[in-house]
Every structure is written in C-alpha cells, then in structure tokens.
Structure 1
C-alpha cells in the first residue's frame, strides 16, 4: 500500500517534469501508437484462431 503511494507520487513528479519539458505529447503519441498496434495484433490473432478452428 505504502509502496503504491510512493510510486504514484513518483509518477506524478515525472509527468510534471515531462509536461514542463514539452515531451509529454511525444510520449503520449508513442503510447497510443503502441496500444493501437497491440489491439490490432490481438484482433488479428483472434481472427486467425477463429479461422483455424
């Protein structure tokens, strides 16, 4: 519980620093791209499995 709280504070600190340096948008774009790629791969995998059966 205590460890989680410390991690959250650290995360907030990192985010604030990123916002100040203006790199937040770049990182967000990368995260969104990775998430979209992951979703596409998952759906392709599901479709492939359905075709196999």
Structure 2
C-alpha cells in the first residue's frame, strides 16, 4: 500500500474516532458526519485508483 493511501486511511480512521468522540461529548452534528463521509469516500476513491 502506497504511503499516500496509508496516510489517508489513518486520517479517515482518526476522523471516525474524533467524530464519535464529538458526538458523545457534545451531541450529534450532521456536518461532522457529512465531513467524515466525504473523507471516507475520498479514501475509498484513492484506494480504488491505486488498485488496492
């Protein structure tokens, strides 16, 4: 797995943890989850483009 793909995967998983912590601590926000969804789709697109 290329370095860029690893970095995006780490950022996506970290974003999931942060979004969950934000939701638990401060209440749900649709924008936080929307941003995480966009990041997840970008990561999925990068993985598909690289062939992994």
Q: What's the TM-score bracket when you normalise by the shorter of the two chains?
A: 0.3 to 0.5
Q: TM-score, normalised by structure 1?
A: 0.46
Q: TM-score, normalised by structure 2?
A: 0.47
Larger CA Rg, structure 1 vs 2: 1
Of Structure 1 and Structure 2, the greater helix share is in 1
